[in-house]
Amino acid sequence: MLHELLNDLIDKNRKQAEALKNVIDVLEKEKQALKENKPELLTDLLNKLQQVTASAMIAEAERAKAAEALASFLKCKPVVKDICSHLEEKEANLLKASSADLLKMVISIKQINYILSKQAEEHRFLAELILERLKFMTSSSKDNALTVDRRV
């Protein structure tokens, strides 16, 4: 029973890591679209991001359920460190490796999200500058038009 529960958790870790990799792929495309100033691509990417995020959330729920089942069997907390303390070294190393892969994906997503938020902030700032410039140009044009009309 222990081996089945452990293998199930390792499999769920792998599936969640794959789901998060899909999220990363979409985030990378979104980052590239912003970098290349192609906002027309963002709508499709946001829809795709919603789909892959939903899949990642399902994978997370399944992984959490598998961790809870194994922890319950071992009578410990559903935390890698606690679970590993109840396993033989070889089994613990397998679980640690699959958990480390999962953690790498989570860290990558956090890094990409940080970059995306900075890019979005820069684009918002540039858009505000452009709007201010257009307002200035429009008001200057109106003032010049009025001045010309007065001379006539």
The per-residue pLDDT for 34 is 79
Mean pLDDT computed over every residue of the chain: 85
pLDDT exceeds cutoff 90 at 30: no
Using only the alpha carbons of the chain, give its radius of gyration: 26
The per-residue pLDDT for 64 is 93
Task: For residue 105, give the nearest of 69, 143, 52, 148 by alpha carbon.
Answer: 52
- Residue identified by tokens 């029973």 is 1
> With bands split at pLDDT 50, 70 and 90, how would you rate the model's confidence at 109?
confident
CATH 1.20.58 fits 2-115, yes or no: yes
